Amino acid sequence: MKIALAQIYAGEDRKANIEKGIAYLADASKQGADIICYPEMSFCRFFPQYHAQSKYFDWAEPVPGPLVEAFQKACAQHSIAAIINMYEKSEPGQYFDCSPVIDKSGKYLGKSQMMHIAELPNYNEKYYYWEGKTDYPVFDIGNVKIGIAICYDRHFPEQIRILTLKGADIIFVPTATSLSELKNIWEVEMQAASVANQVYIAVVNHAGIDDKIHYFGKSFVTDPCGEIIAMAGEAGDELLVVEIDLDKIDKTRRQLPFLRDRRPESYTDLIDID
């Protein structure tokens, strides 16, 4: 199968951003991709770079809602699944960093909300986002099962492991990562996670210079052995289409039976120790 990562910059014109995203979806379909994933806050400026500005709550919308419906139509038209990321307005006063999933028929399959909320320079997320309530869903898009770890979630190995144990073959990581934020572990962290869990991990970032953030692109895919099998450039929009060999997952797990040899009964300290 093939996956596509849409490394795009989202400026102030949200309508233009959405149109660009749908154009990338159509292109990915023409190149034979089965699913496309977009970066964090796919089609709006990454507003958490600004500290505590209440006007951005107006950018949120329900899930499903108009944005999801636009991509349902596009997915059905081009016969491709999609993972988008957006600002979700849920119950009164509750807002989430959310990744809806749509299959190639245009059916809305569900959503994954960011579970771990950052508070770092230029990432003022605790003001804007509630902690996710979806836990760790895995979605069956027909020929593969996928999980999602949104941006900051990728730093928590428990999330990657849970998604793996639930059957995810590919874990998608939509991010908005800056030039200064942990660049030294950008690749190796996900390579290690792929090896530990013997899954594919696909990381998709923005590219370009925003008001307070310089995104460095470099969207990439790691295989179950931890090898980087494809990587986008550091600057500019790019559609990365990557062939995935799903048989390699079982082959690697037979060679390196880490999951078989787990001892979950001995891991209770993970819960018992604060």
What total of structural domains would you count in the chain?
Answer: 1
CA distances 168 to 4, 63, 159, 163, 236, Å, are: 17, 23, 11, 6, 30
pLDDT band at 155 (very low <50, low <70, confident <90, very high): very high
Q: What is the spatial distance between Cα 267 and Cα 253, in angstroms, rounded to a whole number?
A: 21
Q: What pLDDT, on the 0 to 100 scale, is given for residue 271? A: 87
Q: pLDDT digit string (tens) for 167-217?
A: 999 999 999 999 776 778 999 999 999 999 999 999 999 999 999 999 989
Q: What pLDDT, on the 0 to 100 scale, is given for residue 274? A: 76
Report field, pTM of the whole predicted structure over 0.95: yes
Domain range for residue 112?
A: 2-272
Q: pLDDT digit string (tens) for 51-66?
A: 999 999 999 999 999 9
Q: Which of 175, 178, 226 is nearest to 205 (CA)?
A: 175
Q: What pLDDT, on the 0 to 100 scale, is given for residue 200? A: 99
* CB-based contact 45:13 (threshold 8 Å): no
Q: What is the spatial distance between Cα 132 and Cα 100, in angstroms, rounded to a whole number?
A: 13
Q: pLDDT digit string (tens) for 18-77?
A: 999 999 999 999 999 999 999 999 999 999 999 999 999 999 999 999 999 999 999 999
What's the CATH code of the domain at 115? Answer: 3.60.110.10
Q: Which of 189, 233, 207, 187 is nearest to 38 (CA)?
A: 207
